[in-house]
Structure 1
Amino acid sequence: MFISLNVKFDLFYSILAPNVIPDGFVDGRQVTEKLLEATQLDKNLYQCGNTKVFFKAGTLAHLEDLRDDKLNGIISLFQAEIRGYLMRKQYKKLQDQRVALTLMQRNIRKYLVLRNWPWWRLYTKVKPMLNIARQEEEMKKAAEELAKLKEEFEKLEKLKKELEEQNVTVLQQKNDLFLQLQTEQDSLADAEEKISKLVLQRGDMEQRIKELEERLADEEDQAANLNEVKKKMSSEIEELKKDVEDLESSLQKAEQEKQTKDNQIRTLQAEMAQQDETIGKLNKDKKNLEEQNKRTQEALQAEEDKVNHLNKLKAKLESTLDEVSLWTKWIFFNIFHSLL
């Protein structure tokens, strides 16, 4: 069984040994070899080629089991962190409720002592009227602050959306560059193989020329009357020399093609490194915007709660003011009636 390195073996199994993969672009074969060595897998169970890694029966299933165990461990740790966070949050809520309950009990006890005192009743009726103007000003400021926060929130949402779209575009460009790089590497391997074959053919041709020249010398020494044979062999030698020249030309062309492929690969590697840097910067900007967005949402919610509370308080004060007005009229009526 085998797996093609073009399907990113290192991405699928990098979870088994994430620390062995260096930053930046690395050849797929080198990454695969480092990953397999980190898993302490017997080298007799696998073999890495230029574009594929071959496994003996059962080895790939063993790697899958190791990967599943690693994922299960990570998920368990993540679940434990979530449960711990929820329990701490629940405990904090219970503590706040306990403090609030104690405060409410203390205020209720004080209220039960003061509620029937006439001066306290008069004080509770008159005091809210003194704060109406100040509370209306606070409500106006809160409404203005709420409008500003809403406008800032909309701007942050728009900027966040633009950054996400730009991030998707950069990732797509990176994937395209990687596919192009894989294609160029495959072409380079084919060119190297072709060069090796041409070198072997040139050696065979040179050996054959040497043999023919030696044979020609022997024939010339043995029989001077074999001029026709000599001409034929000379012609054959010339043809072979021409073939050798053609092979050398093809070899030179292949070498130039290899050099071109090497330059293209280096260019693609530089572009991918730049894309990685851009992606990292975009992800950092996105994280900062998300944190700022979260803070803005919390401030917006706090302002909305404050406005709602002030609206309720205003309605209550208006109702209390009406009651005090009626009560005052009733007092003046009784005083006037007693004077008569």
Structure 2
Amino acid sequence: MLQAVPSSNELDDVVQTAGRMRAGIESVVTGRPELVRVTLAVLLAEGHLLLEDVPGVGKTTLAKALARSIDCTVGRIQFTPDLLPSDLTGVNIFRSQTHEFEFRPGPVFAHVVIGDEINRASPKTQSALLECMQEAQATVDGHSYPLPRPFLVVATQNPVEMEGTYPLPEAQRDRFMARLTVGYPSVEAELEMLEIQESADPLDRLSPVTDAAHVAHLIDTTRRLYAAPAVKQYVVDLVGASRADHGLRLGASPRAAIQLLRAAKSLAAMDGRDHVLPDDVQLLAVPVLAHRLLPSTESRLSGRTTDAIVADIVDRIPLPASAAARGRRAIG
């Protein structure tokens, strides 16, 4: 039996909760509504987020605002070259009173993990996150410990100052559902930001609008949205086109297709729809796919970015017909 799509009450819950979270985050991160919208889509799709931009544009502020909008545990990691894997996952400490080892969990044992400048950590430490991000567990001294649900890693990195950094390997970039650039605010947004932050930090006024258990329920709700076969075929066509593009030497993985569809479901749920449209997939194609791709030598020399290549692929691949994209919805 096909799983029933969410009821109207369940979708209303997603819309209202996401709306309250969005309003709270936008009170801190001004002038970037689409950035906040995609960030929440990644949360509801149970993915991980990579924020890549120059210093001072609000990457860490966005991560903090997202964490504060949920009543949950938050772990903060400042990545440095001397950071060890055990600094992330935790250590076993011998207790002389009991003559037993006691596990002391690290900062990854939190619902939201904020990682500042992830590319400053050594590859060994970066790889410690791989198991956590993919398997939602951490292994210490041969014993695996489950991580809480929901589990979201929001990592930042600076693409300009590369001295003393270690580029993220392709395997780890593929674990991030989306990569977003914050960008500079508009003149109006920057003036509003100066006005808001003139006397106090807006983060101090941000209160949680939901809790971790409710977010986990919303994640389960969005997973049940209907995606017509034509929409799934459209996702596969986009991913397949990246593998055949001459401007790339590494296309998108099957994991990319799965995560693109999940993120599109979250976006649809936030709009109050019980089905995915090709528009949802199009909007998320660049954030979800571009950071996973490796440009060819010719593309690098010509200055053609993977973002531009994905945008060209989206323009080139035909959209499914409207009726086919809606299809027949699943019933319980």
- Same fold per superposition (TM over 0.5): no
Q: What TM-score do the two structures reach when normalised by structure 1?
A: 0.22
Structure having the higher strand fraction is 2
Q: Which has the larger radius of gyration?
A: 1
Q: What TM-score do the two structures reach when normalised by structure 2?
A: 0.22
Structure having the higher helix fraction is 1
